[in-house]
Every structure is written in structure tokens, then in C-alpha cells.
């Protein structure tokens, strides 16, 4: 594999990793704001509802995270275009 291709792939993976961290932070902040603001109130009167509270919260976080996927994909494609798609060819 050429050095140029390794460098291009490394830069792309680093950029996508940074975007994923930013997206996860925003999703966590959104979930916390919704919980504190009372927008989301999970019932926890029974034992079953208490047991299912965390999975529901986790699902809410995951939905908020996945809503940022199109943005991550778009930025990654624009970044790959900026580097040049030919640079990613391993041969």
C-alpha cells in the first residue's frame, strides 16, 4: 500500500472519529436537557418500569445520536473529496 493512501485513510478515520465524538456529546447533552427540562418523563411506579427506564433512556440517546449520522457522512464525503478520491486507492 502506498504511503499516500495510508496517510489519506488515517486522516479520514481520524476525522470521522472526531465527528463521532462531537455527535455523541451533542446527543448526550440533548438527552440531559430533555431529562432536566421535563420533556421526557419516564414512568417508574412499578418494578418493571424502573427496570426498563435505563434501556428507554439509552434508546432515546441512540436515536439522538443516529440523527447526526447524515451530517457525519456528508462531512466525511466532502473531506474525502477534498483529499482526493484517487488518494484512497491502495495500489
Task: State pLDDT tens for residues 40-85.
Answer: 777 778 888 888 888 988 999 999 999 988 888 899 999 999 988 8
What is the DSSP code string of the chain?
Answer: --HHHHHHHHHHHHHHHHHHHHHHHHHHHHHHHHHHHTS-----SSHHHHHTHHHHHHHHHHHHHHTTHHHHHHHHHHHHHHH-GGGG---
Question: In this predicted structure, what is the pLDDT of residue 10?
Answer: 93
Question: In this predicted structure, what is the pLDDT of residue 26?
Answer: 93
Residues 16-26 pLDDT 10s: 999 999 999 99
Q: What is the model's pTM?
A: 0.77
Structural domains in the chain (count): 1
The whole domain housing 79 covers 3-88
Question: In this predicted structure, what is the pLDDT of residue 87?
Answer: 87
Question: In this predicted structure, what is the pLDDT of residue 91?
Answer: 77
Amino acid at each position: 500500500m502506498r504511503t499516500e493512501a495510508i496517510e489519506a485513510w488515517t486522516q479520514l478515520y481520524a476525522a470521522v472519529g472526531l465527528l463521532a465524538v462531537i455527535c455523541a456529546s451533542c446527543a448526550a447533552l440533548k438527552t440531559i436537557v430533555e431529562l432536566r427540562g421535563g420533556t421526557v418523563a419516564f414512568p417508574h411506579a412499578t418494578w418493571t418500569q424502573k427496570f426498563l427506564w435505563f434501556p428507554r433512556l439509552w434508546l432515546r440517546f441512540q436515536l439522538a445520536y443516529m440523527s447526526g449520522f447524515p451530517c457525519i457522512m456528508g462531512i466525511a464525503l466532502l473531506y474525502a473529496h477534498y483529499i482526493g478520491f484517487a488518494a484512497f486507492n491502495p495500489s
